[in-house]
A and B are shown apart, each in its own frame.
Chain A
């Protein structure tokens, strides 16, 4: 086993363990903090894949904005941070079934894929990954349409938020 594989396994266990804690811990703030640990683990995995830009954006957007928003929402809406009720509802068997089926389907699909045993090609030195990503986002041959659609969606959400919060006198 190479050092990179060991690091990947450690990070993967950390991420999954934190994800498990998010749904099992009874304290809502702890759940939010475990969620941050999970998101951080995902950022580390991006960094291991040489996707530095995605790793940093993961931290900026998910930890810096969304997780902080979660914590604020929990603190401002809940009087008692501990969850008292049962942690399962009546549909638990249905959720379990779906997750088992999904796992089985993925396992079945990946059986026929030969990419698992390959090693990734080395990135040539001087390769400007961020520049390539930026060009791809505005190139008509690549992702300009999804990029613009996402922008319009965000602007619509922004306008909607301002409309809802506006103080009509």
Chain B
């Protein structure tokens, strides 16, 4: 076995040899190696998370025509480390009347709900935590724990703004879970499996070409799940000061903040895995597992960049508009798209692949166009009901 192809297995076998050489029973050695693997993955993620703070701040400053952190270290690269030291030595405050245990568990759960997602991320053909056959559902289940952490934080803080923020955020998360789950079933139909590994390996053609609308709906629902602008109901700073995390200080706030950044990066990664071929890139993943990891991280970074681009470009949507958009537009659209995709997939099972791909692509475009047209006609009728029919003004000479 080549080290470049399957480095994890070779490292594990080598460690197993060492541990059993010390007289450790094999089963205990395997459990220990499993723990070490998790520890390495999580540490790598947390280190990456530190630099995501820098990436985020640099990118937002470019969007806002600024330079961003540039004082500590080259290009301000040491800035996030300085920030972490600042967070660690800050006073750890607990508000009066807070529900102490729940208050302290909430940031942990928030971070955990993001980290457990990486258990199913296929980093390379040979590198993945578990090849769970219900991966798509696992994604939603981890999101449920994130929802729970927000409501716990909002309630335990004993603060009106925190509670309102948590209520609004949870309402958004619970509603956008539905189009997300529906759209997750579309790659499942194509791949014939809910496992992330099977979905990646089946993408001889990126699924974004056969379901562009599905990819778009997933992105919108993912941004809503993240609670980022334009869906940042939980911490709308101009309305709620800071929302559900207002009472948290020091590293506890840092957990929410870092969790949010890593969550955005993770959803960029899942977007890449589900619709952009994951680690696959013109056979590069066959050369070396390390190249495959580089490909998936690169794609995840592009997804993260798009999420940031949307966040720093669009304005916050009012909550009733946002929920109406979800329940009256996105959810029905996702359901219809799922039905159309399943039907066409069954009808075209024996068709040539170019025909299959073009029909799928065209059906998505057509469906998107029809739904926008329906929304346009409906909203014009609503406007006319409120404002009366539009009068065309004749220019005076």
Chain A interface (Cβ within 8 Å of chain B)?
Answer: 3, 29-30, 33, 36, 52-53, 56-57, 59-60, 63-65, 67-68, 71-72, 75, 128-130
Contacts and interface: CB of A to CB of B under 8 A. Distances in A.
A83 to B, nearest CB: 15
B133 A128 contact: yes
Contact of B151 (A57, A60, A71, A128): A71
Nearest to A43: B141
A63 B133 contact: no
Contact of B194 (A64, A75, A130): A130
Contacts of A67: 148
A51 to B, nearest CB: 10
Contacts of B5: none
Contact of A33 (B133, B145, B152): B152
Contacts of B174: 64-65, 68
A151 B249 CA distance: 47
A59 B116 CA distance: 14
- The list of the 8 closest CB pairs from A to B, nearest first, reads A64-B144, A59-B141, A56-B137, A56-B134, A60-B141, A56-B141, A53-B134, A63-B144
B362 interface: no
A30 B99 CA distance: 10
Contact of A64 (B27, B143, B152): B143
A72 B148 CA distance: 11
Contacts of A63: 141, 144-145, 148
A154 B102 CA distance: 34
A72 B140 CA distance: 20
A72 B141 CA distance: 19
Contacts of B155: 29, 71, 75
Nearest to A58: B141
Interface string B113-149: 0000000000000000000111001101101110110
B301 interface: no
Given A60-B140, A64-B140, A75-B155, A52 B148 contact: no
Contacts of B140: 60, 64
A114 to B, nearest CB: 29
Contacts of A64: 140-141, 143-144, 147, 174, 177
